[in-house]
């Protein structure tokens, strides 16, 4: 029974460690728009009903970045708003026109708005949707979620290990004193 308990605790610690590393990587990989970008993939947490009916609140959408050359008229895309406000919104829309600026950069007309290629996240048809995972990742990457699920358990583990070391040192010192008194 004791081995099963030890195995369960080891499994729990391993899962917690994997989650802690993943969440830390997500937070360290934020771009200027407070969205996680891992390589060519952007993790979009749908936290409102603005993108309904295609995407529901609580969804996690992983969008693969497409080069401007692969986005054409008629494609549906995700893009950031280009307004310099404190809030950044992610929109979806259909490309109605494409203007090539350089070999690597284009400007798109989406919903009667001009969108620079640097604000385009990727095409909707390359996106993968995971229902409900956006809520979980949103909680984990929030300030309070990170504090309670990552920082505090780490702090408690460090304090526990320090207390165990101190107890071991005291015990070792006591054994040494007893040996010195017996001689």
Q: What is the pLDDT of residues 34-75, one digit of tens each?
A: 889 999 999 999 988 888 888 899 999 999 988 777 888 888
Can you give the pLDDT at residue 86? 62
Please say if the pLDDT value at position 76 is more than 80: yes
**Confidence band (pLDDT; 50, 70, 90) for 83?**
low
* Residue among 71, 131, 136 nearest 104 (CA): 71
At 91 the three-state DSSP class reads: strand
**Alpha-carbon span 11 to 13, nearest angstrom:** 5
Q: Write down the pLDDT at residue 181.
A: 81
Q: Has domain 31-140 been given CATH number 2.10.109?
A: yes
Q: Check if the beta carbon of residue 117 is closer than 8 Å to that of residue 79.
A: no
Residues 6+ apart with CB under 8 A from 64: 40, 41, 122, 123, 126, 127
Q: What is the pLDDT of residue 87?
A: 67
* pLDDT of 162 higher than 90: yes
- Please give the structure tokens belonging to residue 49: 């009903």
Q: Which helix (H) or strand (E) holds 67?
A: none
pLDDT band at 82 (very low <50, low <70, confident <90, very high): low
Helix (H) or strand (E) holding 16: helix 2-28
Q: Given a cut of 70, is residue 84 above it in pLDDT?
A: no
Question: Three-state DSSP class for 93?
Answer: strand
Model pLDDT, residue 156: 92
């Amino acid at each position: 029974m004791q081995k099963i308990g030890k195995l369960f605790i080891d499994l729990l610690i391993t899962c917690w460690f994997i989650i802690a590393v993943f969440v830390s990587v997500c937070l360290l990989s934020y771009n200027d728009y407070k969205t996680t970008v891992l390589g060519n993939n952007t993790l979009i947490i749908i936290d409102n009903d603005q993108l309904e009916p295609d995407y529901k609140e609580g969804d996690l959408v992983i969008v693969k970045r497409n080069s401007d050359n692969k986005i054409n008229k008629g494609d549906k895309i995700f893009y950031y708003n280009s307004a310099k406000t404190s809030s950044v919104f992610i929109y979806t829309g259909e490309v109605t026109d494409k203007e090539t600026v350089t070999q690597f950069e284009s400007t798109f007309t989406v919903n009667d708005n001009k969108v620079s290629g640097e604000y385009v996240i990727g095409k909707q048809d390359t996106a993968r949707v995971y229902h409900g995972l956006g809520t979980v990742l949103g909680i984990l990457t929030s300030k309070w979620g990170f504090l309670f699920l990552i920082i505090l358990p780490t702090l408690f583990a460090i304090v526990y290990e320090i207390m165990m070391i101190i107890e071991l040192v005291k015990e070792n010192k006591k054994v040494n004193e007893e040996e010195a008194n017996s001689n």
